[in-house]
Structure 1
């Protein structure tokens, strides 16, 4: 189930046709899921088509909620206000192998035949509760498959980088959503994709759903809880404005019960298309739409996830959505 299947409506704006980050024109998503023996892991690719066909940069902004993470490429996004590659999400200790594979992939593109410097962007969360994280299972072929399989339909839940994640005491995963908003008199789309793996108490549209009360077993409380959020928009925002959008994405985690713990790596990257940026006063709806889309994406990441058994016989249980009652 997605949040809308439970009758949960977040905010006042309409969604895009897919209610996904891919409602933003030119944005694709692909996954590679790796499940074998003690491994429950994978990689998810958010692919702006422009960066694999004809552009070398897109404007972007970064927000850090809590910086206990290994977000590769973060300082250059912050300094230069741009991304140069698709944004890949994976497992903590596989992030470096994924970054190397991403560089190889990009250098082989015609647009980069003379490139001598490149900033790969790879985010991660720690899936070590359900997966043998020390084995670093993600390989170059997994990265290439995720990028090249990217399309408009987005699978959610226990897939790709969300295969082994745990959030709010339940099985977490990948989630996505979108909103259609007005920016300076123009209809624009903002979409979000999340990799949920953080602690706290699940709250859905104001209803608390504590795992310790709703599950018949003790909920997992793994170390290294984190969340990666990617926001895309077709609004022509500049890097500074996209950084402000990214901050709102991190704020939205609080709506679903995040506790922003000491060991959490909570990051948001927002990217958009080039164009003449609107005045800041025109951004109110995109701020609001961003928070709504992220909140719903986070809920979708849990509601679409399935109970998963993994490393050392550990289990992360799905949210018992039958227990949800609208306020």
Structure 2
């Protein structure tokens, strides 16, 4: 398979903040990402082009040691599970899972089984568990009606998680399309220093939206195509996962999440009527124990008086935009269901 370069390998730098060592959400200490990619040509003529992606905020027991989290809906034409409890309690207690729309139940089941194996108290001496699963519709390239993702695939994605994550046509991104080309999984990160301490903000996207005439080129902000393309695709969606090791509470994380649309719009998206554009964010700075030792718990968070949080807003915008471009740059041409094809993004258009 052709080795595809990332945006910065092409000489294009987005924004003013530096990236982490890997330019990835896994630059955040403890964060890992795993994929299960499912590609199969069936005897009945159907094509399986799908998968599962798992984001682990830390490698410990996420149910017993939750992270502070938030969610934000840009446009709500989506089937994400778990967001209601995130909004109510401000914590995330499962891996953040991504897959295709009709596979959300299977991935939810698999993730529950993984957490039940870790925690024999769930549903017995304590409550149940809130599993977070996001989705996009890969039915243009994938036999989505076949529901080929099974619960065990979710567990495989979780168990394969590592710091060295893949991008493009992998995991949940296998069958996704973006801006008229092949989309999928992309990531990017930004770093800053506050009071002598380095902090990282990282983004992972599952890109599946837009048409060629929507494309705004990075740096120049110019339209790439002017003539509308004929497309059989629905409006499409994007899942945006934002993580950081900076000490923010759930309300502050929501403020950061609200900046994701700025990065999304810089690529050309206007969040169409049928687009499910969802942001899930988390901070690894503090862990919330499922069984607290007392009636009180104390944490410290950044103040919101000064440039610190504004810098994180800007970092989020930059990282979202670059993660989307990395999802395009790293993806390769895929032929799928009903003979549909999505070509890889042509590098020469950056010249």
- Which structure's residues are more often helix, by fraction? 1
Aligned with 1:39 (options 42, 48, 57)? 48
Counterpart of 1:279 in structure 2 is: 303
Matches within 5 A, 1:163-202: 163-183=174-194, 186-200=197-211, 201-202=214-215
Instruction: Indicate how the Cα distance of structure 1 residues 209 and 151 shifts in structure 2: closer, same or farther if over 3 A, else same.
Output: farther
Cα distance in structure 2, aligned partners of 1:263 and 1:241: 28
CA distance in 1: counterparts of 2:173 and 2:247, whole angstroms: 30
Question: Is structure 2 residue 158 aligned with structure 1 residue 162?
Answer: no
Residue of structure 1 aligned with 2:241, choices 223, 230, 238:
230
Query: In 2, distance between residues paired with 1:74 and 1:173?
Result: 22
Output aligned runs, 1:1-327, within 5 Å: 1-37=5-41, 38-52=47-61, 55-110=64-119, 112=121, 114-183=125-194, 186-200=197-211, 201-203=214-216, 204-208=218-222, 210=224, 220-273=231-284, 274=286, 275-281=299-305, 282-325=308-351
Could you tell me which runs of 5 or more consecutive residues in structure 1 were left unpaired when the two chains were aligned.
Answer: none
Task: Please tell me the root mean square deviation across aligned C-alpha atoms, in Å.
Answer: 1.9
Deviates more, 1:54-63 or 1:167-176: 54-63
Structure number with bigger Rg: 2
Tell me how far apart the structure 2 counterparts of residues 302 and 125 of structure 1 sit (CA, whole Å): 16
* 3-state DSSP of counterpart to 1:57: strand
Alpha-carbon deviation of 1:111? 7.4
Q: 1:112 to 1:11 in 2, by over 3 A?
A: farther
Question: Aligned equivalents of 1:54 and 1:102: distance in 2?
Answer: 12
Unaligned runs of 5+ in 2: 42-46, 287-298
Superposed displacement of residue 182, structure 1: 3.2
Contact 2:32 2:59 in 1 (8 A): no
Compute the TM-score of the two structures, normalised by the length of structure 1. Answer: 0.93
